[in-house]
Amino acid sequence: MSLFPLAPWQVWTLAALLLFIGEILTPGFVLACFALACLVPAAVTLFTPLGFQAQMGLFALSSLAVYVLLRPAVVRYLSSRESRIPSNAEALIGAAGRVVKEVPADGSGGYVKVAGKEWWAFHPQGKALSVGTAVVVTAVGGARIEVRSKAEAEEN
């Protein structure tokens, strides 16, 4: 009777499965690298008996290879700008709104309502916008937004 009821390939496969589950719960594609690395000694020990040190060496080499060769490409793919969805203030660019407090020509700013919230707004060329004017957000900078009238935005 063995002290450890699982074969080495089963231990490595179980470790890979647990690491994949851990990767689902954490960001960064780090645990998945180690999970993939576990599959190498699992496959080797399925067909060839290896000692513990040889298994650990194989795991270390495969971890290094996966982490250095595969992770940068996956992280680059997952964080590419094309697949990124704008959020928070970035999502306001191009959104339509309406002036609720006049935007004066002197550059002191007024208020517009965009996506249900009021924002401190300016016209990029310092043009005045009266209350009720339909506007389009052209830029976001901190707590202030730049807007143009909808008619002006459609011309450009």
Mean pLDDT of residues grouped by 10 in the chain (156 residues)?
76 95 88 95 94 95 94 82 63 88 87 90 88 90 85 74
pTM of the complete model beyond 0.75? no
Q: Is residue 83 part of a domain?
A: no
**Residue of 74, 85, 83 lying closest to 28 (CA atoms):** 74
- 48, 78, 108 — which closes off a domain? 78
pLDDT for 2 equals: 53
Q: At which of 53, 78, 103 does a domain end?
A: 78
Number of structural domains in the chain: 2
Full residue range of the structural domain in which residue 97 is found:
88-155
Residues 24, 73: one domain?
yes
CA distance 88 to 145: 13
